[in-house]
């Protein structure tokens, strides 16, 4: 029977692995195909919000993530020249979540823990070095072409999930527009062991400046003391090659803080950043999630968190369909309304607002916006509401409320 065919997940990134484990936990057979020979060391996401940390428990990796991550109880908005503008303390959320902190840990560690977890399930098949190539859809199944070490193969699936990242093959095959825009500047991320806390930086800080804003995240790396990542915008006239040149990176760090001018830089990388949402997340039995479905700038740390939220939502719907507890069309359309809805209403809106705040050129507008934030942080009701939004608790609740 078609429904007994496995669910195929294209892409074994942290989003794809989350949905795969969530489905395997419901006794649903799954196949994950990942193009790379192993989980790639990916230095992008590192900041996880409370609802996502709760979801890690449901996936059976919560203890490992917390044991290997850094708990960040407070984050800051700063001015490059004026110091701290506002501090937000997550302990205000203690009544809303058992985990009132941001958890900082590299995204490839999440993939790896989920990769270990998936070995617990005999009905789960994770195939590395295997590319998802194309699909055809029928009333009762999806037939996919994959290419692995043994060559081309056809696999049949009851559903196909495109979790294959921003350049998603599945999304392109669906013929769905990836609506939105790409920012002209790219983001340079440079890491150092130099302890920015000695200069008053919280382990997560956003630094406004009309010429060159920055963002700071402390991540565990190989264990204490960890690494501080500093993110800078790179203007279009600077090539990737120039931006990745070590003297250029040192110059950026030294301009940010004189003490960083000659520190070791164990890692540095550059990223193009988009604000895009797929026109729909569904075509029949084919579903999109994670970066394949939406992309946003990383200020506020919401891209991968959203991918995990998509994964849990979608796995819940597919679980009901698989175990014949609901109508497939109704449930999958609800997935699209819920997750696409909050992507636009919350994640796109907030991440664009965060970037505009940091880069504001007009001194009067900048002063006003920073003053508003200062007042928000000083007023406990307003600070609490701000924390519900920025911690993504509000967006998860809102998605659940969408019929």
Ligand X SMILES: Cc1cc2nc3c(=O)[nH]c(=O)nc-3n(C[C@H](O)[C@H](O)[C@H](O)COP(=O)(O)OP(=O)(O)OC[C@H]3O[C@@H](n4cnc5c(N)ncnc54)[C@H](O)[C@@H]3O)c2cc1C
Q: Is 390 in the site for ligand X (CB under 6 A)?
A: no
36 binds ligand X (CB under 6 A): yes
Residue 294 phi/psi, 5-degree rounding, is: -160, 150
Residue of the chain from 178, 298, 342, 348 that contacts ligand X (CB under 6 A): 298
Q: How many CB atoms lie within 10 A of CB 63?
A: 11
Nearer to ligand X, 35 or 366 (CB): 35
Sole binder of ligand X in the list 187, 194, 201, 232 (CB under 6 A): 187
Provide, rounded to whole angstroms, the least separation between the CB of residue 368 and ligand X: 28
The 8-class DSSP code of residue 293 comes to T
Structure tokens given for 166: 């921003």
In terms of CB distance, is 167 or 323 closer to ligand X?
167
In terms of DSSP bridges, do strands 204-208 and 74-79 run parallel, antiparallel, or are they unpaired? parallel
- Binding flag, residue 69, ligand X (CB under 6 A): no
Residue 144, C-beta contacts closer than 8 angstroms, at least 6 positions apart: 8, 10, 132, 133, 134, 135, 154, 155, 156, 157, 160
Q: Does 165 bind ligand X (CB under 6 A)?
A: yes
DSSP-derived pairing of the beta strands 151-157 and 159-162: unpaired
With vertex at residue 140, the alpha carbon angle to CA 175 and CA 19, rounded to the nearest 5 degrees, is 65
215 binds ligand X (CB under 6 A): no
Which of 8, 9, 10, 118: binder of ligand X (CB under 6 A)? 10
Confirm or reject binding of residue 32 to ligand X (CB under 6 A): no
Least separation, in Å, of the C-beta of 157 and ligand X? 14
CA angle 90, 96, 101 (to 5 degrees): 30
Q: Among residues 69, 144, 220, 290, which is the contact residue for ligand X, using CB under 6 A?
A: 290
Out of 121, 132, 135, 206, which residue is the one contacting ligand X (CB under 6 A)? 132
User: What are the angstrom distances between the C-alpha of 244 and each of 188, 235, 241, 400?
Assistant: 8, 13, 5, 42
- Pick from 7, 21, 35, 377 the residue near ligand X by CB under 6 A: 35
The stretch near ligand X (CB under 6 A) out of 296-304, 346-354, 369-377, 378-386 is 296-304
Q: Tell me: does residue 163 bind ligand X (CB under 6 A).
A: yes
Residue 152 CA, distance from chain mean position: 31
By CB under 6 A, residue 46 contacts ligand X? yes
Of 8, 9, 12, 336, which lies in the binding site for ligand X, with binding defined by CB under 6 A? 12
CB of 258 to ligand X, least distance (A): 25
Q: Residue 43 corresponds to which tokens in the numbers above?
A: 């230095």
Tell me which residue of 75, 76, 70 sits closest to 104, measured CA to CA: 70
CB of 287 to ligand X, least distance (A): 13
Q: Which of 291, 339, 347, 376 binds ligand X (CB under 6 A)?
A: 291
Closest Cα to residue 192, out of 235, 228, 162? 228
Q: By CB under 6 A, tell whether 107 contacts ligand X.
A: yes
304 lies in the binding site for ligand X (CB under 6 A): yes
For 286, list phi and psi in degrees, rounded to 5.
Answer: -110, 125
Closer residue to ligand X in complex, CB, 162/328: 162
CA distance 158 to 199: 55
- Chain residues in the site for ligand X (CB under 6 A): 10-16, 33-36, 40, 42, 44-47, 107, 131-132, 163-165, 169, 187, 189, 271, 290-291, 298, 301-305, 307
């Amino acid at each position: 029977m078609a429904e007994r065919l496995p669910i195929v997940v294209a892409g074994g990134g942290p989003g794809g692995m989350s949905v795969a484990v969530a489905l395997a936990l419901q006794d649903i057979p799954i196949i994950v195909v990942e193009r790379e020979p192993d989980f790639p060391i990916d230095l992008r996401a590192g900041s996880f919000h409370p609802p996502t940390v709760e979801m890690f428990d449901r996936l059976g990796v919560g203890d490992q993530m917390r044991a290997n991550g850094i708990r960040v109880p407070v984050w800051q908005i700063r001015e490059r020249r004026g110091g701290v503008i506002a501090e937000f303390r997550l302990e205000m959320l203690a009544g809303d979540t058992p985990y009132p902190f941001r958890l900082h840990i590299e995204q490839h560690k999440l993939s790896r823990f989920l990769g270990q977890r998936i070995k617990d399930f005999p009905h789960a098949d994770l195939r590395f070095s295997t590319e998802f190539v194309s699909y055809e859809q029928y009333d009762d199944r999806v037939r996919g072409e994959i290419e692995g070490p043994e060559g081309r193969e056809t696999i049949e699936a009851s559903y196909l999930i495109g979790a294959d990242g921003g350049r998603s093959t599945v999304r392109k095959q669906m013929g769905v527009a990836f609506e939105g825009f790409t920012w002209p500047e790219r983001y340079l991320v440079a890491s150092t062991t130099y302890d920015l806390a000695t200069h008053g930086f919280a382990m997560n800080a956003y630094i406004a400046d009309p010429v060159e804003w920055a963002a700071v995240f402390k991540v565990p790396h190989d264990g204490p003391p960890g690494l501080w990542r500093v993110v800078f915008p790179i203007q279009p006239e600077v090539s990737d090659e120039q931006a990745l040149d070590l003297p250029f990176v040192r110059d950026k760090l030294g301009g940010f803080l004189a003490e960083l001018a000659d520190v070791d830089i164990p890692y540095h990388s550059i990223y193009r950043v988009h604000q895009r949402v797929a026109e729909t997340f569904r075509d029949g039995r084919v579903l999109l999630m994670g970066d394949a479905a939406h992309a946003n700038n990383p200020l506020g740390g919401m891209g991968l968190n959203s991918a995990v939220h998509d994964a849990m939502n979608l796995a819940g719907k597919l679980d009901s369909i698989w175990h014949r507890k609901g109508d497939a069309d109704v449930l999958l359309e609800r997935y699209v309304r819920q997750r696409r809805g909050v992507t636009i209403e919350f994640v796109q809106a907030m991440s664009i607002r965060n970037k505009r705040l940091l880069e504001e050129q007009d001194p009067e507008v900048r002063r006003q916006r920073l003053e508003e934030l200062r007042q928000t942080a000083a007023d406990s009701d307003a600070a609490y509401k701000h924390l519900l939004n920025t911690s993504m608790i509000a967006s998860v609740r809102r998605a659940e409320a969408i019929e």
